[in-house]
């Protein structure tokens, strides 16, 4: 059930927010024990909000699930980590939560994720495994894996995720739903637990492109509580969404279609591109010459920022504290050792290393300069084209456990999504068919559309045209 059709049913009096929440709770009990998308939910609190829902508002009475790294007053916010799972309750609302409520929506459900959003499979959650609803032996993608899996599984109407290097788009692709990462600065990060502050953005995971536009409309806009949130007007994302792609110039970067792409993914993405061409879009070959350096650049910058951001988890003010520490230093070190999982530790060590004296210039300083080159590649491309088309991921969802001892291999699979975060541009993933892969049948494939900074309206218009 999409947001738009649920809205129609509310207005026609065919159902109510209370009934929808009760039906979702029934679905969660019936099916989520297999999928594992939900970490927690508070039905009573949501029913309280439903009782007074204002159905005249744009998202009036619509339940929206939240990745478990966004603060909602009184709710848990585990970030998929043992560090916060024991006793943390949010003392305030994230700005996106306030904005969703102002638009009439009801926050309902806390979704599993890779620990502190570090990962592309949700296997790095310290709390539970989430399975892909299309094939339970496979990952849902990540890090917003619970958000994507619940929308695909029908246990959520729509969800919010966060995207630091593909963490909305890639799970959307793997689960066959729509996922939008807005431009850096478009949506407030206040109340989102920070992973890499220059890369993180919150965005929607939905069944339809129109639903994604409706949620973006609600959560975008200036917030004085986030100094990086841009004070620029929010356009109407729905008014031009059906205008089509006739006359638009769409670029296909050769660097994103090289070896290493699964043939089934290539076939479906190329078919989606042909579909847009048939509707009158002009397809142009373009080049993003520094694309091959995105993984190296990202996996220096993101861990560097993470190592700094995660220093706040010290066992003093909130979260896990070790029992009987010998002294304050022992408290810090043991609390962090006990509270963090392996991927978080790897990234903290890596980030600390690339920022340390003697290595800073060689790694972090250099990566920031290459980030400029990657950003310029996109600026040059958007001189010639309105948007860029590519796969979201090189393959469909892999099996759970397949990359467990090889983090670099996992990082390399992020190649098509990382650059948008480095450049600060928006990207959307939409389903573009299914393919067989590695013993799995009919696994979803995603088309990625990247646009210029603050070009979300154009992306949504192209995505709507490409939507099946």
Please list the active-site residues.
Answer: 67, 143, 167
Contacting another protein within 278-307 (CB under 8 A): 290, 292-293, 295-297, 299-300, 307
**Minimum CB–partner distance for residue 359 and another protein (Å):** 6
CA distance to 115, 121, 209, 252, per residue, from 390 (Å): 28, 20, 17, 7
Compare residues 187 and 430 and give the one whose CB is closer to another protein: 187
DSSP state of 323: S
Token output for 155: 């246990």
Q: What is the dihedral of CA 403, 118, 352, 354, to 10 degrees?
A: 70
Candidates 5, 356, 380, 442: give the one binding another protein (CB under 8 A): 356
DSSP state of 238: T
Contacting another protein within 360-379 (CB under 8 A): 362-363, 365-373, 375
Candidates 325, 360, 402, 434: give the one binding another protein (CB under 8 A): 325
Compare residues 53 and 193 and give the one whose CB is closer to another protein: 193
**Minimum CB–partner distance for residue 91 and another protein (Å):** 4
CA distance to 99, 147, 162, 342, 397, per residue, from 142 (Å): 25, 9, 10, 16, 10
Q: Cβ(222)–Cβ(230) under 8 Å? A: yes
Candidates 45, 128, 267, 359: give the one binding another protein (CB under 8 A): 359
Regarding 181 and contact with another protein (CB under 8 A), the answer is no
**Minimum CB–partner distance for residue 94 and another protein (Å):** 14
- How many Cα atoms sit within 13 Å of 309 on the Cβ side? 20
Compare residues 423 and 466 and give the one whose CB is closer to another protein: 423
Q: Cβ(165)–Cβ(298) under 8 Å? A: yes
Contacting another protein within 223-262 (CB under 8 A): 224, 227-228, 230
Q: Cβ(122)–Cβ(141) under 8 Å? A: yes
Contacting another protein within 182-221 (CB under 8 A): 183-185, 198
For the chain, the first-to-last Cα distance in angstroms comes to 16
Residues 6+ apart with CB under 8 A from 82: 126, 127, 320, 338, 339, 340, 341
Candidates 14, 54, 236, 337: give the one binding another protein (CB under 8 A): 337
Rounded CA-CA distance 393/389 in Å is 12
Candidates 249, 279, 318, 402: give the one binding another protein (CB under 8 A): 318
Candidates 30, 102, 271, 316: give the one binding another protein (CB under 8 A): 316
Compare residues 396 and 455 and give the one whose CB is closer to another protein: 455
Contacting another protein within 381-440 (CB under 8 A): 405-408, 411, 421-425
Token output for 316: 């003093």
**In sequence order, what E strands does 186-297 have?**
201-206, 249-253, 282-286
Residues 6+ apart with CB under 8 A from 152: 132, 133, 134, 140, 175, 176, 177
Contacting another protein within 81-100 (CB under 8 A): 87-89, 91-92
Candidates 36, 145, 319, 431: give the one binding another protein (CB under 8 A): 319
Question: Contacts with another protein: how many residues (CB under 8 A)?
Answer: 79
Compare residues 137 and 338 and give the one whose CB is closer to another protein: 338
Candidates 252, 331, 402, 434: give the one binding another protein (CB under 8 A): 331
Compare residues 12 and 408 and give the one whose CB is closer to another protein: 408
Compare residues 2 and 297 and give the one whose CB is closer to another protein: 297
């Amino acid at each position: 059930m999409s947001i738009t059709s649920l809205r129609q049913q509310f207005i026609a009096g065919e159902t109510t927010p209370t009934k929808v929440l009760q039906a979702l709770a029934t679905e969660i009990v019936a099916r989520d024990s297999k999928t594992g998308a939900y970490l927690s939910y508070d039905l009573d609190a949501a029913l309280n909000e439903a009782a007074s829902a204002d159905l005249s508002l744009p998202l009036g009475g619509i339940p929206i699930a939240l990745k478990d790294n966004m603060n909602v007053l009184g709710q848990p916010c585990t970030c998929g980590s043992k560090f916060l799972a024991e006793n943390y309750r949010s003392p305030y609302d994230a700005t996106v939560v306030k904005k969703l409520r102002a638009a009439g929506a009801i926050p309902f459900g806390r979704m599993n994720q890779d620990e502190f959003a570090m990962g592309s499979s949700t296997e790095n959650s310290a709390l539970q495994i989430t399975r892909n609803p299309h094939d339970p032996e496979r990952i849902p993608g990540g890090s917003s894996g619970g958000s994507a899996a619940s929308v695909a599984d029908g246990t959520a109407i729509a969800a919010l995720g966060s995207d630091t290097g593909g963490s909305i788009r890639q799970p959307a692709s793997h689960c066959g739903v729509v996922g939008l990462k807005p431009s850096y600065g478009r949506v407030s990060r206040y109340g989102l637990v920070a992973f890499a502050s220059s890369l993180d953005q919150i965005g929607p995971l939905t069944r339809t492109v129109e639903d994604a536009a409706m949620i973006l409309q609600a959560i975008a806009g200036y917030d004085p509580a986030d100094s990086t949130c841009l004070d620029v007007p929010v356009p109407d994302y729905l008014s031009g969404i059906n205008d089509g792609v006739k006359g638009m110039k769409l670029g296909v970067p050769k660097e994103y279609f090289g070896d290493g792409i699964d043939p089934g993914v290539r076939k479906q993405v190329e078919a989606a591109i042909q579909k847009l061409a048939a509707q009158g879009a002009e397809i142009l070959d373009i080049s993003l010459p520094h694309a091959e350096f995105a993984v190296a650049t990202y996996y220096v910058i993101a861990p560097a920022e993470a190592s700094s951001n995660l220093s706040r988890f010290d066992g003093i003010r909130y979260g896990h504290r070790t029992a009987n520490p010998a002294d304050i230093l022992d408290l810090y070190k043991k609390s962090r050792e006990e509270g963090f999982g392996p991927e978080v530790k790897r990234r903290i060590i890596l980030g600390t290393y690339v920022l340390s004296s003697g290595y800073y210039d060689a790694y972090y300083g250099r990566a920031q300069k290459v980030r400029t080159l990657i950003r310029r590649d996109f600026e040059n491309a958007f001189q010639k084209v309105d948007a860029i088309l590519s796969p979201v991921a090189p393959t469909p969802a892999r099996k759970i456990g397949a990359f467990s001892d090889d983090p670099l291999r996992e990082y390399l699979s992020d190649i098509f999504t990382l650059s948008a975060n480095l450049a600060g541009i928006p990207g959307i993933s939409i389903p573009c068919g299914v393919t067989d892969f590695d013993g799995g049948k009919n696994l979803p494939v995603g088309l990625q559309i990247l646009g210029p900074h603050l070009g979300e309206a154009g992306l949504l218009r192209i995505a709507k045209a490409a939507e099946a």
